């Protein structure tokens, strides 16, 4: 028996109640973390959709050419040969 707040309580019952409450709180925390993780994944997906929509075809081409290892000079020549404006091509190439 344990003396708590002026009341004699059996130790095993006290430990059981404490364990049950701790377990219950841990389950609630786990469930909230799962909800938060799901929300974060949804937000990342939304951000990716927005980024994909905001990228112009020319930006996509420049990004792909950069990944493939083309030099700025090669990319500039390809775009100007295809009829793109030199000023716009030079502005976009400054990003890469």
Are 82 and 72 part of one and the same domain?
Answer: yes
In order, the DSSP letters of 46-75 are HHHHHHHHHS-HHHHHHHHHHHTT--HHHH
Clarify whether residues 31 and 5 are in a common domain.
yes
Average pLDDT of the chain is: 85
CB atoms within 10 A of CB 72: 15
Do residues 87 and 44 share a domain? no
Q: Do 43 and 8 belong together in one domain?
A: yes
Domain that includes residue 34, residue range: 1-54
Flag whether the pTM goes above 0.75. Answer: no
Distance CA 8, CA 15 (A): 14
Question: Per-residue pLDDT for 96 more than 70?
Answer: no
Same domain, 46 and 2: yes
Strands 7-9 and 2-4, by their bridges, are antiparallel
The pLDDT value recorded for residue 34 is: 97
Question: Residue 36 has what pLDDT?
Answer: 96
> What pLDDT digit, counting tens, does each position of 47-87 carry?
877 766 666 777 778 888 888 988 888 988 988 898 888 88
């Amino acid at each position: 028996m344990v003396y708590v707040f002026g009341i004699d309580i059996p130790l095993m019952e006290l430990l059981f109640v404490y364990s049950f409450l701790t377990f219950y709180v841990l389950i609630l925390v786990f469930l909230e973390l799962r909800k938060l993780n799901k929300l974060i994944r949804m937000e990342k997906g939304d951000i990716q959709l927005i980024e994909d929509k905001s990228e112009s075809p020319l930006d996509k081409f420049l990004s792909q050419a950069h990944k493939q290892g083309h030099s700025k000079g090669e990319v500039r020549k390809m775009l100007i040969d295809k009829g793109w404006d030199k000023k716009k091509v030079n502005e976009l190439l400054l990003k890469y």
